[in-house]
Structure formats: structure tokens, C-alpha cells
Chain A
Amino acid sequence: METGDDRSAAKRGTLEGITAVAMLLLGVLVIVDSVRVGIRWVDDGPQAGYFPFYVGVLLCLSSVWNFAMTFVDTASSQKSFVSVASIKLIFAMLLPTVVYVALIGWMGFYVSSILFIGLFMVWLGKYSWTKSILVSGTVIVCIFLMFEIWFRVPLPKGPLEALLGLA
């Protein structure tokens, strides 16, 4: 058995299966809704569901095939999809991103971006606080100049900008 962080976190076949089933369910959803709006031919031509219905059917058929293939091609299914070390890094990126994106809506783009870049550098990059603040601050000032001033594209702002009179 492999040990440590090189070992597999998930098998490829598992992910193949989950993806195929998810796509199959989406296909069913498309079919159901197409039937609801009508998939037949009426006096003034095809109904709204006419085209999407077949899209849904093809999505289901191809997903069933892909699902079946995970059992046929067992060699590939047994392979590792992602190692424990990699999945840790991926979540270390993904979770802060989700928090960051949620924060934008609450405290605006600029403040949350400074926090995101800075904290990411401190935690994952093991940089000092001064260096992190310096880098993230510079990046955000550049973005502010480029978007708000030169190209006049406003980005979402929060309470701090309102306090400073920038919004």
C-alpha cells in the first residue's frame, strides 16, 4: 500500500460515475421541462420544447454510455483520480475562493481582494505580513487605476469605500 500524501484520495471510476449520473439527471431535467412546454408540432410550427427535447435525450443516452464504460474499462476506473496531497492543495485554493466570492457581495470588491491575496500569501506561501500586505495592496491599486480610472468600469464597492467617499 502507498502511504502518506501520495496515496489516492479518490478513484477515477468513482468520479466518472458521479459525473455521468449528474449529467444523466440534468438530461432528465431537460426532457421533463421540454415536455412541459411542448415537444410537438402545432399549427404555427414546432413548440418551444421541440429542440431541447432531443438535446436532453442525447445528453441522457451519452451519459448512460459513459456510465456503462466505467464498468467496462475497469483498468482505467481503478486508477487514481487525485492524490491526497493534491486534493489538499485544491481545497486550500477552492475554500478561500468561495469565502472570497461571498465576501465581495458584502464588503465590496477591493477590501475582500486585498484580504484574499494577502491571507493566501501568509497561509499558503508563508510570506511575512508586511510583504503580503505590500504585494496585495500594490495589485489592488493597479486594478483600481486600470478599471475605475482608465477604462471607467466600476467594480462593486462596500461600506469602507462609502466611508472614504470613493463609491
Chain B
Amino acid sequence: MAEINALLNGFAVALTPFNLLLMLIGIVLGVLIGVLPGLGGANGVAILLPLTFSMPPTSAIIMLSCIYWGALFGGAITSILFNIPGEPWSVATTFDGYPLAQKGRAGAALTAAFTSSFVGAFVAVVLITFLSPVIASFALEFGPAEFFSVYLLTFCAFVGTSSENAMKTIASMMLGFALAAVGLDTVTGQLRLTFGFTSMLQGFDFLIAVIGLFGIGEILLTLEEGLEFKGVHAKLDTRVVLETWKELPRYWATSLRSAAVGCFMGIVPGGATPASFMSYGVARRMSRDREKFGTGMVEGVVAPETAAHAAGTAALLPMLTLGVPGSPTAAVLLGGLLIWGLQPGPLLFVEQPDFVWGLIASMYLGNIAGLIVVLTTVPLFAAILRIPFAIIAPVIMVICAIGAYTVHSSMLDVYLMVVFGIVGYLFRKLGYPLAPLVLALVLGDRAEASFRQSMLLSEGNLSIFFSNYLVGSLTGLALLLLFWPLISTTKRLLKR
């Protein structure tokens, strides 16, 4: 088994004292980010990205991906103890997690959430280990038309799977593409959309957009709830953990189903949130005590947490193999790869095996470390949430400003961040999804390049996107997803 060998090599790369230390730092920072309002996986990783500029790429990605795992774990703490979902995919965790905490079983809910997160991530990492080399070697044969159809599929999937208004998804996505087009056109050397401002030459950096949209926007949203957080106190001792672990094997079927849903939805962009809702719904429908869901069932915590973590992890699979991130956080990690001089995509597996397998090995280690850290330090992190918002809010603003400044050492970016923050607040309140905007901003240039290359190959004939089975089925699936909202509405109207 070539994969096992490669993975063992990866462990050798990841298991240095320096990398282990970074892993631990990453997890702790990640949980902190996941717990604090206004900081989440995407903008947290974006803010901390400049810290890694001077590190070797493998160590850097290990630390950043551990921040991501930590943030995924941390989201559960706020959902269960404070009924505040730290991340959109933790919303489903509040349904049963918070009632459990109110009943005095916060410890059990947290243990169940962390353990399920771990299980979900573990299944997804195994999937990445064995599936990504296959996809990568398959994608080596891809031409520009295939790549464009993959991009098309990514973007159409947002329209097809989003629970929000499809037209708002498109508007938000197109705004991202327009922002991506600003600056120098690499093919013709012409300036686009700069309107004579030299400061616009560089275009918009998506990291700034991520920090503003998610960070500042989130703080403004949280402010509406007032300045005080009210939460349940949690004790997490060994006895509670062991008792909950004894209870958990009972839900093996739910775990397995949720992990499968999560892995599948994670590869599709923007999948973690729908995955968590979907698996909660499925678990409720399949359960014998259906009506008890929502009143504090451990199973109701297991299902969404497993799925969300599986999806969050699986989102890295298309990022590594195709260079197409499945979530905003995966997009930020991809941005990191580009900054360290690595070109994500199928060639990465051939040219940088140490990097790829070191990262995959660190996913196993990072999640184990994460489970241990969160199980032992919950009271500490819960205490952080009790710090009044009048202190937390300005501190987070300061951290966001640092993050925005350090990307290019430019003050203009800090001003832009504030503008993006206001846009983020408006968009969130009006139901414009932010993930398509960020992904369009990240992938815009490359999507356009692959489109233009395909057009050059075919001399302007769009039929190139149906020229063989592979590209044809990808494009076909993309179009189906694009028109899915229209199809399902028509079906509903016809039924009436």
C-alpha cells in the first residue's frame, strides 16, 4: 500500500518536537478563536497567517490546520454552554446541547460533542488519506476545460445547496468575481476596474475581505444581542467523561450515518452547515424517541457535531487535490499555500510529497491533541466567555486590525477591512451568503484563466465544456445544480 508508506513518511515529517509544539499552540489558539465572538475559523486563520510567513511551509500548515481543528472544537463550547453558535454549523448543536446543559448535564453534552467531532474528523481524514492520491493522479490529466468545469461545479453547488435565496447567492458571488477582477489583467496587461487609482493596482486581497466580513461583521451582529453573555457553568471531570463514553457506543449508527453525510457534503462547497442540519434531521427521523429531540438528547449532539467536523475536514480534500477549497477556511489555507510558494492542485502530490503527507499525518495527530486539549481545558475557555463584551469587543477589533495590517504591511488594508465589516454585517442580516463571495474572490482569477485558456483551445466554441464524458458530466452536474432552485420550485407549484 503506497498510501500507508507515504503516510508513515508523513508522520516522520510531522513528529518533530517543533511541529508538535506548533500543533499544541495551534489547537489552543484555535479553541480560543472558536470560543470568542467575532473570531472564527476563517478569519482567525487569516489573522494568524502572517505569523507563519517565516516558518517552513510544512510547519506553517500544521499550525494553521490545527488552528482550524481547534476552532471546530471550540464552536461546540459556546453552543452548549451559552446557546450562542460560534460557527454556522454549530447552530444544530444548540438544539439539544443547550437543553442538556440547562438540565445540569453540560459535562455529558460537551464530552459527547468533542468525542463525536473527533470521530467525524477521523473518518474524514481516513477518507482523505486514501481518496486524495487517487483524485490527484486522476486530476493530473485535467486540461483547462476540466478545471473550469470543476470551478463551475463549485460555484453552481452554492446556488443548488444554499438554503438562502438563490438570487442573493448569485449576487454575492458576482460581487466576489468583480472584486477579483480588479487590478492588472495577467493575460493582456491591461488595467481593469481601477478607475485611475494606483492603490487599486494590486486588487483586493481576500484575506482582508475575510477578516472584515466575518470578524467585524460578526462583532456588530453580536452587539445587537447586548453586552452581556449568560451561560451555564460546566464541570468536566474524569467521571463524567468516562460515563458519557460508556453511553456513546449506543449511537454508533447515528455516528456512522452522520460521518457519511458530513464527508459527502464537505467535498461539496459550503457543505458543513447543511451537513449538520441534515444529519440532525436524519437522526431525529430514525430515532425511537423522536419527540424527545430538542429537549436535551445526547444523540442530538452527536449527529450534528460528527457531521460538521467530518464536513469541515473533508473540505480540505478538494483544496489539496484540485486547488478548489470547499469552505472559506479551506480557502484561507489555500491562500497560505500560495504565499509560501506552493501551487495547490494535483501536482502538489508529485512535487511536494513531504508537505502533503506531513499535513495529512498532522490531521490525525492534531485531532487527537485537540480532543485531549478541549476535554481538559473547557472551564478555562468557558471563563473567557464570561469576560464582559465591553472588554472583548475592542480587543477583537484590535486583533482584526493587526491581522489586516500584517498581510501586506499596508494601512489601506485596515481601512478596507472596516468597509468589508459593514458590508458583512448588512449581508448577514439581509441573508446574502458570505462564503460564495469569499470563494469567488479567491478563485476568480484562476476560474477566468481556465475559461480563457479553454476558449483559446476551442477558438471561442462553448461546446468544449461538453467535449468528453468527464468534462461533460461535470458541466452537466453544474448546470443541474445551478437550476435546482428553479426546478424544485416548479415541482412544488405543479404538485399544488
Q: Which residues of A contact B (CB under 8 A)?
A: 12, 15-16, 19-20, 23, 26-27, 29-30, 33-34, 37, 41, 45-52, 55-56, 58-59, 62-63, 65-66, 69, 81-83, 86, 89-90, 93-94, 96-98, 100-101, 104-105, 109, 113, 116-117, 120-121, 124-127, 135, 139, 143, 147, 151-156
Contact = CB atoms under 8 A, between A and B. Distances in A.
A51 B193 CA distance: 13
B224 A124 contact: no
A29 B390 CA distance: 40
Given A93-B393, A155-B402, A86 B223 contact: yes
B38 to A, nearest CB: 11
B414 A51 contact: no
A1 B14 CA distance: 64
Interface residues of B, number: 60
B422 A94 contact: yes
9 contacts: A29-B193, A33-B193, A46-B460, A47-B188, A56-B178, A59-B174, A104-B414, A139-B395, A156-B411
A48 B414 contact: no
B406 interface: yes
Given A16-B430, A48-B188, A86-B223, 15 more contacts: A19-B426, A34-B192, A55-B177, A58-B170, A62-B168, A65-B167, A82-B429, A93-B220, A97-B397, A100-B401, A124-B390, A127-B390, A135-B391, A153-B50, A153-B51
A117 B426 CA distance: 25
Contacts of B227: 89, 124-125
B174 A27 contact: yes
Contacts, number: 165
Contact of B451 (A29, A51, A125, A153): A51
A142 to B, nearest CB: 10
Contacts of A19: 426-427, 430, 432
Contacts of B170: 58, 62
A97 to B, nearest CB: 6
A13 to B, nearest CB: 10
Contacts of B393: 93, 120
Q: Please list the 9 inter-chain residue pairs (A to B) with the smallest Cβ-Cβ separation, ordered nearest first.
A: A125-B390, A59-B174, A62-B171, A120-B394, A86-B224, A48-B185, A48-B190, A55-B177, A52-B181
B394 A121 contact: yes
B405 interface: yes
Contacts of A96: 394
Contacts of A104: 401, 405, 411, 414
A15 B54 CA distance: 44
Given A48-B187, A52-B193, A101-B418, A93 B223 contact: yes
Contacts of A89: 223-224, 226-227
Given A55-B181, A101-B418, A45 B455 contact: yes
Interface of B: 50-51, 53-54, 165, 167-168, 170-171, 174-175, 177-178, 181, 185, 187-188, 190-193, 195, 216, 219-220, 223-224, 226-227, 388, 390-391, 393-395, 397-399, 401-402, 405-406, 409, 411, 414-415, 418, 422, 425-427, 429-430, 432, 448, 451-452, 455-456, 460
B181 A30 contact: yes
A120 B227 CA distance: 13
B41 to A, nearest CB: 20
Contacts of A63: 171
A103 to B, nearest CB: 11
Contacts of A33: 192-193, 195
A52 B398 contact: no
A156 to B, nearest CB: 7
B171 A51 contact: no
Contacts of B452: 45-46, 50-51
A62 B164 CA distance: 14
Contacts of B219: 93
Contacts of A27: 174, 178
Contacts of B456: 45-46
Contacts of A47: 188
B496 to A, nearest CB: 18
A155 B402 CA distance: 7
B405 A155 contact: yes
A120 B389 CA distance: 11
A37 B388 CA distance: 52
Contacts of A29: 193
A94 B51 CA distance: 27
